[in-house]
Amino acid sequence: MSNQSNNRNEIKAEKSFCMMTGKKQSIEDLVSFPVDYNFKIMGKTLELDIELLLRRIEAITGRKISRELIRARPSREGKYTSYSVRVFLQEADELTAVYAMLKAENSVVYYV
């Protein structure tokens, strides 16, 4: 078996502390895959390039995201915009990869 598949199994088996339950749980314990997952992404309106992020998510999942399912909501003063992005995910690895990409993106100030 290749190193890559060993690493994938280790990632799936890894459990993290869940603030909601107070227990160590894996992503699979909390989310049933496949799933239509709703990401909330927020950033400064003039800096966040949502199209770039959508293309990156599409590259991770290998599936197109319907732009019709994207909801944008500007803050009261327009400084920030929050986006709801619905994405079909086949497995936990895709969710983990999308969150890692969002964490590394400087223009994203908040994501769930």
pLDDT exceeds cutoff 80 at 42: yes
pLDDT tens for residues 56-108? 999 999 999 999 989 999 999 999 999 999 999 999 999 999 999 999 999 99
pLDDT exceeds cutoff 90 at 14: no
pLDDT exceeds cutoff 80 at 34: yes
pLDDT exceeds cutoff 50 at 44: yes
Contacts of 14 (CB under 8 A, 6+ apart): 26
Amino acid type, 87? V
Contacts of 102 (CB under 8 A, 6+ apart): 39, 41, 53, 108, 111
Q: What is the mean pLDDT of residues 17-33?
A: 69
Q: Where do the CATH 3.30.70.260 domains begin and end in the chain?
A: 31-111
Topology of domain 31-111, per CATH? Answer: Alpha-Beta Plaits (3.30.70)
